[in-house]
Chain A
Amino acid sequence: MLDLLNYPFMQRAILAAVLTGLTAPAIGTYLVQRRLALLGDGIGHVALTGVALGLLTGIAPLVTAVIVAAIGAIVIELLRSYGRTSGDVALAMLFYGGIAGGVLLTNLAGDSAATLQGYLFGSITTVSSSDLWLVAILGAIVLILAIGLSPQLFAVCQDEEHARVSGVPVRVYGILLAVLAAVTITVAMRTVGLLLVSALMVVPVATAQQITRSFRTTFSAAMVIGLAAALTGVVASYEIDTQTGPTIVMVALAAFVIAAPLGAIVRSWRNHHRVHDPQ
């Protein structure tokens, strides 16, 4: 099995999977805490237009996807924080616009929508070294900010009003989180694909939560689970010859299916323990 490490494309694939497996659940924990679990999906749709813009202009799709996804994320966050009433309809329009725009621009570039398949579901073995450099730099930035600013991000996602009275510029952090999510999604685009990236942001967090009791352990456990799912998925997809994105997501879901009943047992044991705890 170790022979797969001899192929340069597999080395790149594994490195990209490690970065995705760590960054997606890190940002995902904040999104779930803020009850924005589906934000990743929305940004993923918008990023597709960015990819198509790259195909149309001849610029690397990864670069245009990062830029368009970040702009889309900022628009979504502003719509969310200012226009609460019509927010979800506005969001929906942005999502559909992202997909339709992506396919339309791809057609205009002279390609069929099939070209987008590798971006929608991941195509990890086609990651080039220049892609990998960008993915590595962006992934590192995401991780440094997600961990370094965790006191602020935790406070904003836990209780926005209290954070504001603590002097935290809540709107700035909201936008920062949305942009970090956009960058994470484009980092993960080649690994799990734009349609499935949200799964890697949410499922490891949901899995970790079955057992964990604090934010800190949820955050770390989600990253470990994400990393394990991404690595297992890459290797499995190579061995059984399937697409990487769906394979990684199914591994992550399998972990959840195992953790859910386990968590229920642990919780009932803890409750039982507390009832008999004479304090």
Chain B
Amino acid sequence: MSTAERTRRLWARITSSELALSLIAVAVGLAAGALILAITSSEPLVAYGAFWQGAFGSRRGLGETFYYGTQLILTGLAVAISFRCGLFNLGAQGQILLGAMGAAWAGYWLPGLPPLIHVTVALLVGSLLGLVWSAIAGYLKARLNMHEVITTLMMNYLVINLKSWIVGVDGPMKQPGMIPASPPVLESARLPRIWSDARLHIGILIAVVCVAAVWYLLFRTRLGYKIRAVGLSPSAAEYGGIQVARNIVITMAISGFLAGLAGSIEVLGVNYRFSQDLTANYAWDAIAVALLGGLHPFGTFLAALLFGALSSGFTSTQGVADVSRDTVLIITALIIFLMVLIRSRKTTAIATRGDTTSAGLEQRP
């Protein structure tokens, strides 16, 4: 075998391996990040050091990594499951914010509940709000064929406006005083911390449970089979007796639930209040996380931790280099580009296949 032949074979093996492709994308992304640090920092080596400390090197850093990771795991799962059904849930940001609002409200407004109950109720309120909000978009898609890309995006803006009002001047959830935020969440509703000096709380455990749950749902249950079938071929699914419209709504509901849960956890585990400056911008990172993870729960988990590390690392460099978390955004975009580019050669994951007419609904009885 000539070298050329050998190289060609190797390249073919690489491009057909999911893992290899993800690793390549990550490597390039990291390289880009390193480059940005090098350019923007007066002392790149110090910046790299700070980055490492921030990501893994210190207990605080590791805690931060897991904190961001938790948010990204849940939101990544939300995005991944919607993509699996051929739906582009770009409304995670709004669903997270609604979840946060709901959890905060349940957290400060319901007195006299034992901690376990209070936490559970608050988490549920938030998650259910996210579920309903997302399910609305699902319903609009299923019944009125409104493309979920635009509906979820518009609904994001609606929630952002809601947020502005609800803790704004004279807003119903605003605590007295100058700060545009809700009253603090009662002790009984707060998620216990794991490490007190970092923002790591037991939310990470909830996230891990969700990873397992989503895996089980997608690959072991009948509902999961139906969701995947609808995502890969709605007409075949319909032929096989699967109710496409119903499964679209269910999938969006589950997706919204997970996003709402992410928002609830952020409030109950870290901020302990709902405030104006909660942006949930990591919802966009979640798209990259889901794609990088191959739309698979386990892959999403790993990708989320990776992005968590990136976020934590870059935040730590904030004093040292004149760069901010926005570098992560750029790396995110880069990774998405790469993942989509590389995967365009494969025909597996539906979200990266060319056909945008996802879950287009044909005539049904």
Q: Do A and B belong to a common assembly?
A: no
Residues of chain B whose beta carbon lies under 8 Å from any beta carbon of chain A: none
Residues of chain A whose beta carbon lies under 8 Å from any beta carbon of chain B: none
